[in-house]
Amino acid sequence: MIKSTNVILLLFWLFSYHPIYAQETTLNWINKKILKIENQSETQITEHQTQINRVVTTIELNDLVEQDIILPYYYWSWSDIEDISEKIKKIPIDVTPLLRNLITAVLISEMPIDLNSSKERNLYIVRLNKLIELGKLREAQLFINANDPTLKISSDPQFIINIMRGNDTLACAQYKNSETITPNLKKKLYCLSYENEMQEANIIFETAKMLNFINAYDTEILKILLNSQQEKLFFTYTETNKISALDYVILEKNKAIDPKIVIPTAFLTYDFNQNIDVRKKLIAGEKLTKIGAISDTQLFQLYKNDIIEDNFGDELKNRIAFIKSLEKSIIAKDPVQIRKFLSEGFSIFDKVGLSTQFSEHYSAHILNQQNLGWDTPISIKMSLLTGNYSDMKNSISLNSNFILAQSVAKNDYSKLRNISSFEENIISAIRDPIYNEKNTNLIDQGKTGEVILSSILLLTDDNKKNAKNIKNGLRGLMQTGLEKIAKLIVIQYILMD
């Protein structure tokens, strides 16, 4: 038994920290020059607002995600900081890829960030944690580098980002030398275990248990972490406890995850970032791409590069072999084969919920073949799903199963017949954009960002069967200049229903 004085010294040492600098590249796309509206004349404000409006009306979702265009600071400059924070907290992580990318664009936009202000500091942490929950680790890392490179308040999120990327060495090095308001025993023991300092880890663990510093849930997780491997331990999940990213990594490393546990899909970024098991990496990649946590480029690069192994399973083997064949036809510039493979590919990847991502990845080749005369229901559907319909030369086909989607794309509703009340509700948001007076007032007050957040909440999965909420959410996006995004959401609703 450790003497009380030793216990005090041990715990004092346990919770000692010093600052360290983050070591990744800086975020070059965030504008550091915050617009000083209060110092501008009325004429300057009017001129600048006119310029902003001109930019906003041409915003495209891909531009937002690629950081070529970000939502301007004006969108948040007069907003209620606490209201923004609460709305972001309410955004669920189980959303469509299209909404996930829009949410990401909102989270990395130029909201107020003053780490010396308690409200703005809280907003920064809320945004950062939401990026991590969504599985957007790259964006979260760049967000830290741009706004808190010394990890003044970001040490905990930084630790999670590092371990989810499989970079335990950096995670533990930064943790040892970082300052944090709330020291975390679990992280300390995780790092000691990683460094094989098991005796020290067990002493701290037993001391913390003796002093009732650990609840029953964490005790079970830490027993698995510090298991000597002489016995097989399994985690018993209860709904009263929310599994964290660190818990998932501990359980995954020790093969102690109960198959009955519902794991947040974004946690699979850990599996995707590991290079040990290629099959697991591919399966995780497919799931992450399906929800929009990673890009289609990242997934399809795996298909193109990885060799086919025996343990992949027939379906995964077939997808990899198919992509390699499609790539060969593209290199050979054989239009007959390219069109054949594109059509087959849509069906193959539709079975696993990746038809939109397949279409996005090969959108340039689809468009090129359409320009060469490829005009079929499948080719049109792929273009519609990806928003690549501005150059579509075909007229709306009465024989098509997706007349409504084509009508929305072309803003031509003359051939609509016998549509459902749900379809009528959602297309009316695009066809007849009657704007909400409350939204108009908020925009006039410089609170455009709050309208976007409210619209996103109306469009999340909890409301997807509520036509009225969907219509109001779409109208909100239309009102803030995000017309193309709203239209693409409607088209995907129609085609993927």
Q: pLDDT (tens digit, 0 to 9) for every residue of the chain, 497 residues total?
A: 444 554 444 444 444 433 333 333 333 222 322 222 223 333 333 343 333 332 333 334 443 444 334 677 778 878 889 999 999 999 988 888 888 988 998 998 888 888 999 999 999 999 999 999 999 999 999 999 999 999 989 999 999 999 999 999 999 998 888 765 456 889 999 999 999 999 999 999 999 999 888 888 888 899 999 986 666 666 665 666 678 899 999 988 888 887 777 788 889 999 998 867 888 889 999 999 998 898 899 999 989 886 777 778 889 999 999 999 999 999 999 999 999 999 999 999 999 999 999 999 999 999 899 888 898 888 888 988 888 776 666 555 555 557 788 888 888 887 777 787 888 888 888 888 788 889 889 888 888 989 999 999 999 855 556 788 888 999 999 998 888 889 888 888 888 76
Residues 441 and 394 in one domain: no
393 is a domain residue:
yes
DSSP symbol at 28: T
431 is a domain residue:
yes
Residues 470 and 432 in one domain: yes
Residues 389 and 441 in one domain: no
Question: What's the CA gap between 266 and 268, in Å, rounded?
Answer: 5
Question: What's the CA gap between 108 and 31, in Å, rounded?
Answer: 11
CA dist 145 → 150, 151, 158, 335, 495 (Å): 8, 9, 10, 46, 40
Whole-structure pTM value: 0.79
* Cα–Cα nearest to 158, from 65, 126, 149: 149
pLDDT at 481: 87
345 is a domain residue:
yes
273 is a domain residue:
no
487 is a domain residue:
yes
Give the residue numbers spanning the domain of 336.
328-398
380 is a domain residue:
yes
Burial 127-142 (b: 16+ CB within 10 A, else e): bbbbbbbbbbbbbbbb
Of the residues 365, 398, 431, the one at which a domain ends: 398
Q: Report yes or no: 72 and 52 within 8 Å, Cβ to Cβ.
A: yes
277 is a domain residue:
no
Residues 393 and 425 in one domain: no
Half-sphere exposure of 343 (CA within 13 A, CB side): 14
Number of domains, the chain = 2
447 is a domain residue:
yes
Q: Report yes or no: 124 and 112 within 8 Å, Cβ to Cβ.
A: no
Half-sphere exposure of 267 (CA within 13 A, CB side): 16
3-state secondary structure 227-241: CCCCCCCCCCCCCCC
Residues 380 and 337 in one domain: yes
* Cα–Cα nearest to 401, from 368, 377, 370: 377
> Which amino acid does the sequence have at 180?
T
Instruction: Give the residue ranges of DSSP H helices in 154-276.
Output: 155-164, 168-176, 185-194, 198-210, 216-225, 245-253, 269-273
List of residues 6+ apart from 276 with CB closer than 8 A: none
Q: Report yes or no: 474 and 486 within 8 Å, Cβ to Cβ.
A: yes
**Which H or E run contains 327?**
helix 314-332
Of the residues 336, 367, 398, the one at which a domain ends: 398
Of the residues 383, 398, 413, the one at which a domain ends: 398
List of residues 6+ apart from 265 with CB closer than 8 A: 135, 287, 288, 291, 293
pLDDT at 393: 60
